[in-house]
Amino acid sequence: MEKYYKQYDTCRQNEKPFCSVACPFHIDVMDFQAKMANSNYNAAFKTFRNAVGFPDIVAALCPEYCASACPRGELDQSVQLNLLEKTCVAKATKKDPTDYNVPLKDRRIAIIGAGTSGLACAVRLTQKKYHVTIYEKTDRVGGKLWDMLPPELFLEDIKRQFQFEKYALHFNTEIKNIDEIRSEGFEAIYIATGKNGFDFGAMNRENGHCLIDDGIAVFAGGSLTGKDQVGALADGLDMAWSIEVFLKTGRLEYPENPAPCKAVTDPDKLIKTEGVIPTDNGLFSDEEAAAEAGRCIRCQCDACMKYCDVYAYHNKWPMKVRDDIMVTVAFSTSPSMLKKTPAKRLMNTCTRCGLCNEVCPENIEIGGMLLEARRYLHKQDTMPGAYHQFWVRDMEFTNSAFAALARKAPGQGKCTYAFFPGCQLGAADPQYVLEPYQWLLSKKQDTGLMIRCCGLPAEWAGNEEMHDKEIAVIRREWEQLGKPVLILACTSCRKHLMEYLPEIETISLYEVLDQWGFEAKTRKQEGMTYSIFDPCSARHMKTTAQAVRNLAGQLGISPEELPKGDKHGCCGYGGQGSIANPNYTAYVAKSRIELSENPYITYCINCRDIFKEEGKPVLHILDLLFDISEENTKLPDVTERRRNRIELKETLLTEIWGEKMAKKKELCKFKLVYGPEVKGKLNKQKILEEDLCEVIEFGESSKRRTFNPQKGTFTCYRELGCVTYWVEYRPAGEGYEILSAYTHRMKIELEGVWNGRKTDTDLR
Amino acid sequence: MEEKQTLICDKCKVEMAEYEVQFSYLNRSFRHKVPRCPQCGQVYIPEELAGGRMSEVEKLLEDK
């Protein structure tokens, strides 16, 4: 976990944008622009004033250092930040500073020179209630401002900013030597004597323009050190910071300059928009200000927010997500320390598509961190059991004797290749496995078969122990077959096996079809337009992606590419987060569907199922090649998927090996009848007919059930794993009619103990 | 208004009544009144409760 935590050290989330780096005041541009865009001038003014000290003066003098840094400059016109500032100071109505009721500090600071820099330093320090004395050799404040601005403008601003502060100001007092004021008890002195002024020997020292003279810190800044008027003002504010640091720590330090902005400008946001021309006497109207603020594309590294579904859906920035994960994991290890687990659901939504570290300029991988966090939850038994129970049971069923198969081809002693279709292909329709396998046999007689789940559900559930066992079984079966090259139909299985069983050589079914000379039976879709949706797990399987395109081309389809190619996330199936957060998976599926209006061709059965469920016209490439299902073919429900798996094994044994299935499992002990409404409900809640039968069997045998005389129905329940299943039913002929079924995750406690004695011992 | 449904415990053949039941989820326990058999204590949770309030509390605890 530490490893994943540390990778965020280089996250650019808090990086300042280009303009802010160039600005001597490092204004919080994001905040300022957001407020200007909402015509919230008073709030924008506050942001501006907090950054610059004297807002009216700076708005009037600002030479727009930011303009040359703005990425808009090269496209149309830099954002006119100075005009926005001018509009802001003109339109703000609450311009007085805040009067903090804080007692004066007994720390004395001298400022030599009442020009812009000296005043800026003084305003900051007096606002922090330091005891400030200003010495000015002339008889007025403002210095060079008298030559640059109308006196009423800057004098008004100075008066306003100092209105609540106490300070001493000595006119006509020229200080030429520190000794003149040494007896005043100053701890720090700021020399702002202007261009060619006295520097008291503070200039160009080891640490910059500063020194410690007999315990007194002396800083030189402003025009004295060659800055222009605005730079000198900013310098005054910085020196106030340095003086405060000295008073607190005794060290001579300067504020750090922000690191250069490394954000990659987002071309989607940088759309040519000419600068707004002000029509309100050289200032922007409300609409114009909002439009100009809207031209600012808020340069900030947001690659993850844009591409990663986890960040985008939760609308949380990377640091926040990292911290939430750490808090949740910390809870798992020591519940007494922290009471919250804010990321429990979030960490179960990641689809494991792997896009996060590919789009991040610093390659920060949140996916790995989330998977590690799931493992923590599992180990500490704080993972909500229902999140993954269905999927893990589904995997166990696929790998049971009723559905799994690992065989050499009939009559073959060796096995050069073996077809590994994955768990969901045969569940969707047995033909998806039967047809390609028969074709493979026709091409290479010694192609074996391995039907089982690759173990991904165990990994996604964070169950390492179970996952290791699954991987070990695959390795053993593969060795027993004679270490064949595995032909995989599912790119997720392939990616998974490549990671955990690198010793196994794999190839995708689609490459094999392309290379071994597949000829399609029909060309029904000839001339039609489809977009190819590459599954997220195939992002680095370029030859597979090409093979699918070749196959589609063979069928007379000219496949179109999605606007961002394969730089998109998962369809929503990955990570199996649909139970943890169904809204999230629906959001992900919808985002992928909207990538193109064209119907899709995909080569992952999960993508096909998810998109179809959401109403998108979509076909699996095997549909086109072997004419298996149509766009309007209905998807099987959860129970039918299990039946399909059994049927697949049975058919394979009969048709390929001429055998009968040794042990045929009856999925359901009873004959169940129910209408389409109940069927939909069962499928949505992922309740299997097997589950219903188990509940009914218990109710019937124990009579522990509730009778509803009005409806003539019985209701009973059974806890299966972490989920409690309830069924309302009534006997119908030889079986039962199901009226309703529902589940909950809470456990009913102590039901068997009633009135102080144990009444039932057979309750789970 | 919908007529109140009578529920009978099929084991004891007596009418069920509202009693407290203890529930637990994610290391937290709480009590709520639901129909129970006064004799054997059998619990009945109506669909509206499971899909409504219970599901809400489950979500709350998962996010807490």
Asked if A746 and B44 come within 8 Å (Cβ–Cβ), the reply is: no
C-alpha closest to that of A4 among A317, A365, A357: A365
β-strand A188-191 against A216-220: which pairing, if any? parallel
Q: How many angstroms separate the Cα of A4 from the Cα of each of A322, A367, A465?
A: 9, 10, 22
Burial class (CB in 10 A: 0-12, 13-18, 19+), A56: buried
- Asked whether residue B1 carries a pLDDT value surpassing 50, the answer given is no
Residue B2 lies in a domain: no
User: Is the separation of the CB atoms in A236 and A116 below 8 Å?
Assistant: yes
The residue among A341 and A753 whose pLDDT is bigger is A341
Distance (Å, rounded) from C-alpha A225 to C-alpha A194? 8
Greatest CA separation for chain A = 113
- State the average pLDDT over residues A200-220: 89
Chain A nearest-CA distance from B12, in A, is: 9
Q: Is the pLDDT of residue A457 over 90?
A: yes
Interface test with chain B among A374, A695, A745, A750, by most B beta carbons within 10 Å? A745
Rounded average pLDDT over A3-29: 91
CA–CA min distance B18, chain A (Å): 14
pLDDT above 90 for A575 = yes
CA distance A16 to A25: 12
Q: Is A716 helix (H, G, I), strand (E, B) or coil?
A: strand
Chain B contact set for A728 (CB, 8 A) = 47
pLDDT at A761 over 60: no
- Residue B50: which domain range? 8-63
Query: Which chain A residue's Cα is nearest to B35?
Result: A706
What band does A756 get if pLDDT is binned at 50, 70 and 90? low
Judged against a pLDDT cut of 90, whether residue A339 lies above it is answered with: no
Q: Taking CA atoms, what residue in B is nearest to A703?
A: B11
Residue at B53 is within a domain: yes
To the nearest 10 degrees (0 to 180), the angle between helices A116-127 and A229-249 is 40
B60 in contact with A at a CB cutoff of 8 Å? no
| Amino acid A177: pLDDT | 87
Task: Please tell me if residue A742 touches chain B, with a CB cutoff of 8 Å.
Answer: yes
Reading the block at residue A167, the tokens are 């300070």
Total domains in the fold of chain B: 1
Handedness of CA A681, A687, A692, A695 (dihedral sign): negative
Question: What is the dihedral sign for C-alpha A389, A390, A394, A400?
Answer: positive
Does residue B57 sit in helix, strand or coil? Answer: helix
Among partner residues A382, A710, A749, which is closest to B22 by beta-carbon distance? A749
Does residue B27 belong to any structural domain of this protein? yes
A749 with B16: Cβ contact below 8 A: no
Task: State the residue for tokens 């799931």.
Answer: A374
Residue B3 domain flag: no
Tokens, residue A136: 């000015």
- CATH number of the domain enclosing B29: 3.10.20
Please give the average per-residue pLDDT across A23-34, as a whole number. Answer: 95
In a mutational test of the A interface, the residue from B45, B55, B59, B64 whose CB has the highest number of chain A CBs within 10 Å is: B45
Residues A600-626: pLDDT tens digits? Answer: 999 999 999 999 999 999 999 999 999
* β-strand partners of A135: A112, A170
Is B34 in the A-facing interface, judged by CB distances under 8 Å? no
Can you tell me the mean pLDDT for A556-560?
Answer: 90
Whole-number Cα distances in Å, A186 to A97, A132, A178, A337 = 27, 9, 10, 47
Kindly state whether A702 is in contact with chain B, defined as any CB-CB distance less than 8 angstroms. yes
ipTM of the complex: 0.96
Mutation for B interface: A744, A755, A760, A764, most B CBs within 10 A = A744
Q: Over 50: is that where the pLDDT of A764 sits?
A: no
Residue-wise pLDDT tens digits, A657-666: 999 877 666 7
| Residue A762 confidence (pLDDT) | 54
Residue at B1 is within a domain: no
Residue A663: the pLDDT is 65
Measured CA to CA, the distance from residue A679 to residue A687 in angstroms comes to 9
Query: In what helix (H) or strand (E) does residue A211 lie, and over which residues does it extend?
Result: strand A210-213
Task: Tell me the per-residue pLDDT of A237-292, one tens digit each, with 9 for 90 and over.
Answer: 999 999 999 999 999 999 998 888 888 778 888 889 999 999 988 999 999 999 99
Half-sphere exposure of A425 (CA within 13 A, CB side): 33
Flag if A744 and B50 touch (Cβ within 8 Å): yes
What's the token pair of residue A88? 């802001």
B26 with A382: Cβ contact below 8 A: yes
Is some CB atom of chain B closer than 8 A to the CB atom of A760? yes
CA distance B33 to chain A (A): 12
DSSP A728: E
Contact list in B for residue A715 (CB cut-off 8 A) is: 44
Q: Does A750 touch chain B (CB under 8 A)?
A: yes
Among A8-12, A388-392, A652-656, the least confident range: A8-12
